[in-house]
Chain A
Amino acid sequence: MKKRIIKATNLSRRKFIVGSAAAGGGLALGFNLPFIGTAEAASAAKTGTEVNAWVVVRPDDTCVIRIARSEMGQGTETGLAQLVAEELECNWKKVVAEWVAPGQNLARKRIWGDMATGGSRGIRGSQDYVRRGGATARVMLLQAAADQWKVPVGELSVENGVITHGPSGRKITYGKVAAAAAKLTPPDPKSIKLKDPKDWKIAGKPIKRLDTAMKLNGSLVYAIDLKLPGMLNAAVKACPVFGGKLVSYDEAKISGMPGVRRIVKVHDNAVAVVADTWWHAKSALEAMPIAWNDGSGASQSSATIAERLREGLTATNEPFASWQDGGDALKTIAGAAKKVEAIYATPFLAHATMEPNNCTARVTADRAEVWVPTQSAEAALAVTSEESGLPLEKCEVHKHVLGGGFGRRGGTQDYTRQAVAIAKQFPGVPIKMIWSREEDMAHDFYRPISQCKLSAGLDESGKLVGMHIRLSGQSINAYLNPGAIKDGRDVRQLQGLYKEPGDAQFGYTVPNLLVEYAMRNTHVPVGPWRGVNTNQNGVYLECFMDEVARAAGKDPLEFRRELMAKHPKHLAVLNAAAEKAEYGKPLPAGVYRGIAQFMGYASYSAAVAEVSVSGEGKVKVHRIVIAIDCGHAVNPQQIAAQVEGSVVYGLSATFYGECTVKNGCIAESNFHDYRMLRLAEMPKVETVIVPSYDFWGGVGEPTICVVAPSVMNAIYAATGKPVRSLPLKNVKLA
């Protein structure tokens, strides 16, 4: 469960002794560092008193809750604040969230733990220590009141930030005792008891986000909106062929263009035009002739890559990541009464965050700062330090709300590195580097491409007796985290097909099962992508299950249920989705159902899609019911928002998403040829939260993996022909 999610490159590991376990476990809660220094103390009236790292209380009883993870729309900021506030027993109406910067975190021995935000771990990865942070602060605030009144702390109670002494009826608010509380020695962490989630009053409730107001009137400053005195703007272009290098550029051709200040090299593969405005920089960059050395990648295309993957489907004698259950699956299938076999494929996909990659950097002789949308502020700090040559303590990262993340802006921080590389050539001058949409499409870390061959054997009665899953495709770890690959075997690409419980377990019991992954890498950079690997693997397994069910002459839901007795949580969400969708009930003429269930990011998901296919082969998704068991549900309405969003992200990929490789580059360049789902195509989404309250699962990513297969299975039901590759725009359905 712990090591499967990548968040940072080796680079940040060199800089920090990280590892999520170490960060959580070693977290110094109870470290209480009240403001030192007169300037800060003097402003305490305004800024409040730090009771502990997570909680600052102002004299007006406002509780400032510190948030270390990044906010990119997924609602983690609000969810984490709910968890702290729940234990703090403060007044939710007086809660404000405040972000911490990685430089501060480092200066305080990483008191706020791991700041990386990916793998749907924002809540589940920090819930324990943030709740303890809230509880610790509560204990200290109560003790301060007890000390002031000289009564036993056991005689006090607190609600909504108001402390009451039962016997005397005296009351005092958090704001009045915070200064005294901050001076106390924090309690023994072992003495801190967390609430039973059954007693939650703030957490677990469908309350509104803390961060909406500024998103309604244009006042929220995203990194791309930043204005600094003396700032210049940079437009950048890297060699379109991955791995290619910059040879030369013809500066003279754009020397007279308005606003241009200077043209600079960026590492060995890119060039930037720096100008007064970004529009001037971009216009000049587009007008400047650039010569590239494309390198060996230029020989690659979607066809050559598909061929390499296809070979991996039948390869033998190499170290596969694999596991098996029961006896010899291959022999069983070969000798079975009925055999089913199918090959599926999914393409590279770009993230296409609405806010293109950007970063503002300012580098002086003894200070490097960046303002950046990042999912991994500490990786951004490490990159800033490396690229500027300044030690970590002389660097800082100013985090901004991300205009979308989806896994693009994690540990790699390639765009932050570029911005620092440009800015260090302009000492003291803030440089805002913005990627054009075209640059953003051309230089992503794409969702890995893969193919999957599945075979199954059925006995005479239609019972499944064996299954073989051979996955072939690109490895994220090979690109970003080679150290995680053991003896050439990369388990991570099998997410959702794992034997082990907890994170992304295969949800069926198959008598003879063999699951294998053949690594086939390409020159195209790959990385996490909302629900990565479970998305592709969910398509493969769940569409194949429908093909096998049909071969067995069974209803797809019944066929699955028979194999899920040993996976009660998988089964429970499948049943919940089927029930909400009234699975057995007839649909209007021409509308068909498709179901899917899968597990990823420590949560269980299932979907029932209702789809029609017109005579011309046009697919319409009318309704999708999605059930999720994420263990504890911290904010049900935000979970619903994430489910709704995952349907859109998943359907964009299902219908349109495809990055094709031509002469070594990505051919698609903008939203005209990398289409997105629009509102008119949005089905009705119904979310069923099935919390089982005995684990902490993710929310942002898990449900996307059932979107495509449920729709594909409904199309299969409608047309009688299985869909085996995506996107649907390439599939002839009529």
Chain B
Amino acid sequence: MAKLNINGKVRDVQVEAGTPLLWVIREQVGLTGTKYGCGVAQCGACSVHLNGEVVRSCSIPVGGVKATDKIVTIEGLSAASSHPVQKAWAELDVPQCGYCQSGQIMAAAALLRKNPKPSDGDIDAAMTNICRCGTYQRIRAAVHMAADMAKKA
């Protein structure tokens, strides 16, 4: 049994302590925007925010997450896809298959929260999620665009 604060809502989940947060989010809570890609914290498709930091939820046992910890998934990032990252992603038609994009968007949002005007080098260092379709060029441009949007807003 665990108590989790996901997207501002506290939920009780019946699950073994060793279960990765990813699978609790997907299978117990039913939020499937967070994806399984590798299970070994390599690809980042499972990225969520834990107290504002981007984490790879496939490698975090739920037993280590406290009820006071704030988890945000792609579904809770914004109302109506209004986060600057989501808007920039739409503007530049970033996604191809889209499977990794929840994780990419969560990683970008976490980057911009800490560093509102990231350089290319900052983006290189922070955006380590794998995209097999190869959308990296547009991701980079969209992160810059989102930074500009947030500044203007």
Contacts and interface: CB of A to CB of B under 8 A. Distances in A.
A648 B136 contact: yes
B132 A353 contact: yes
B28 to A, nearest CB: 8
A222 B137 contact: no
A218 B46 CA distance: 11
Contacts of A330: none
A620 interface: no
- Interface SS of chain A: loop
Given A218-B74, A645-B135, A679-B140, A212 B38 contact: no
Nearest to B143: A679
B93 A680 contact: no
B57 interface: no
Interface in B1-53: 16, 19-20, 23, 26-28, 30-40, 42-43, 45
Contact of B86 (A209, A216, A672): A216
A28 interface: no
Most-contacted residue by chain A among B36, B134, B135 (CB, 10 A): B134
Given A74-B96, A218-B34, A679 B75 contact: no
Given A73-B95, A401-B97, A644-B137, A277 B23 contact: yes
Interface in B82-112: 86, 89-90, 93-102, 105
Nearest to A353: B132
Nearest to B120: A680
B32 A678 contact: no
A646 B131 CA distance: 12
Interface stretch (A55-63, A287-295, A402-410): A402-410
A354 B130 contact: yes
Contacts of B16: 258
Given A74-B96, A354-B99, A218 B137 contact: no
Contact of B97 (A73, A647, A684): A73
Given A352-B132, A354-B131, A685-B137, A221 B20 contact: no
List the 9 closest A-B pairs by CB distance, nearest first.
Answer: A218-B33, A648-B134, A73-B97, A403-B99, A215-B98, A73-B96, A645-B134, A680-B124, A225-B32
- Interface SS of chain B: loop
Contacts of A434: 36
Given A213-B81, A220-B98, A354-B37, A279 B27 contact: yes
17 contacts: A73-B133, A217-B86, A277-B23, A354-B35, A354-B133, A403-B99, A437-B37, A637-B93, A644-B137, A644-B138, A670-B39, A670-B42, A671-B40, A671-B43, A672-B42, A679-B123, A679-B128
A641 interface: yes
A217 B38 contact: no
A134 interface: no
Interface in A211-250: 211-222, 224-225, 227, 233
Interface of B: 16, 19-20, 23, 26-28, 30-40, 42-43, 45, 73-75, 77-78, 81, 86, 89-90, 93-102, 105, 123-125, 127-140
A668 to B, nearest CB: 12
Contact of A403 (B27, B42, B94, B97): B97
Contacts of B98: 73, 211-212, 214-215, 220, 401, 403
Given A227-B30, A649-B132, A679-B136, A437 B95 contact: no
A184 B38 CA distance: 54
Most-contacted residue by chain A among B81, B99, B129 (CB, 10 A): B99
A685 B141 CA distance: 12
Nearest to B28: A277
A648 B30 contact: no
A641 B138 contact: yes
A354 B134 CA distance: 11
Nearest to B97: A73
Given A220-B98, A222-B35, A641-B93, 17 more contacts: A214-B98, A217-B75, A217-B77, A217-B78, A218-B75, A222-B32, A224-B32, A224-B36, A353-B99, A404-B99, A404-B133, A437-B39, A649-B132, A671-B130, A672-B40, A676-B130, A679-B131
Given A218-B75, A354-B100, A279 B20 contact: yes
B97 A354 contact: yes
Contacts, number: 175
Nearest to A646: B134
A356 interface: yes
Contacts of B139: 679
Contacts of A209: 93, 95
B81 A217 contact: yes
B123 to A, nearest CB: 7
B136 A402 contact: no
Contacts of B134: 644-649, 677
Contacts of B133: 73, 354, 404, 645, 648
Contacts of B95: 73, 209, 212, 215-216
Interface of A: 72-75, 208-209, 211-222, 224-225, 227, 233, 258, 277-279, 352-356, 401-406, 434, 436-437, 637-638, 641, 644-649, 670-672, 676-680, 682, 684-685
Nearest to B94: A212
Given A354-B132, A649-B134, A218 B86 contact: no
B4 to A, nearest CB: 15
Most-contacted residue by chain A among B28, B73, B98, B140 (CB, 10 A): B98
A212 B90 CA distance: 7
A299 B98 CA distance: 40
Most-contacted residue by chain A among B20, B35, B136 (CB, 10 A): B136
A222 B19 contact: no
Contact of A406 (B31, B123, B124, B132): B132
Contacts of B31: 218
Contacts of A403: 35, 97-99
A484 B35 CA distance: 39
Given A212-B95, A679-B123, A356 B36 contact: yes
Nearest to B42: A671
Contacts of A354: 35, 37, 43, 45, 97, 99-100, 130-133
Contacts of B42: 670-672
A222 B135 CA distance: 19
A150 B105 CA distance: 56
A218 B105 CA distance: 10
A589 B131 CA distance: 32
A645 B96 contact: yes
A442 to B, nearest CB: 14
A457 B78 CA distance: 65
Nearest to B30: A227
A245 B49 CA distance: 43
Contacts of B137: 644, 682, 684-685
A233 B23 CA distance: 12
Nearest to A687: B137
A74 B95 CA distance: 10
Nearest to B45: A354
A404 B33 contact: no
A641 B135 contact: yes
Nearest to B91: A208
